[in-house]
Structure 1
Amino acid sequence: MRKTHLALLTLGATVLAGFVTATPAAARDYPWCAQGGEYDYPGECAYSTYEQCQASVSGRLLFCGPNPLFAYGQAPRPQPRTQRRTRPVAPY
């Protein structure tokens, strides 16, 4: 019974150490981004060449643009979101 507890404790510590030392993917460190459609600004920045980006966005109603973090060396400011005004619907 003691060996089982020790084995489970060791396994738990190993898994926890794996989560602590894991680093997030650096997908925003590439110079080209797929933009538009389902992606917020700056988009999916996972392409090292413009051609790679073009191949990925082909047929997806997206476009390729430069990564502002890579191009300008700073984080972009979030764009303020404006409320969309809707016209009240008149009853018939």
Structure 2
Amino acid sequence: MRCLFSIAVALSAAVSTGITTASAQARDYPFCIKGANYVSSVGDCSFDTYQQCLDTASGRYAFCDRNPYFAQTSKPKVAKRRIRSGQQ
């Protein structure tokens, strides 16, 4: 009985460790392929570059789009307009 309990504890520890490791390695990709073969409205978001997505979509009823859930690491740059006072 003790042996069975020890095996069950070791197995559950191994499974939970595997799930945690896989979650830590998951990452977001900036581009998604969408089309008739994809049930989800987001499609398959597993592409690092737009070109990778286009290559995969080539010859299929599919298109590429940005991943709406992709977390950008930097803020987009916004051009600031300078207003000069006193000059026309």
Q: TM-score w.r.t. structure 2 length?
A: 0.56
Alignment-derived partner of residue 10 in structure 1? 10
What is the RMSD computed on CA atoms of the aligned residues?
Answer: 2.9
Q: Distance in 2 between matches of 1:71 and 1:41?
A: 18
SS state at 1:33 partner = strand
Question: Are residues 47 and 3 of structure 1, via their aligned partners in 2, closer, same or farther at CA, if it must alter by over 3 Å?
Answer: same
> Structure 1 residues 46-55 or 31-40, which shifts more?
31-40
Deviation at residue 8 of structure 1 after TM alignment: 4.3
Higher-Rg structure is 2
Counterpart in the other structure of 2:44 = 44
Distance 2:12 2:70 in 1: 38
Matching residue's letter, 2:65 = G
Cα-to-partner distance string for 1:42-83 (whole Å, 9 max, x where unaligned): 2211111111001111122101112222388xxxxxxxxxxx
Structure of higher RCO (CA pairs closer than 8 Å, 6+ residues apart): 2
Q: Gaps spanning 5+ residues in structure 2: where?
A: 73-88
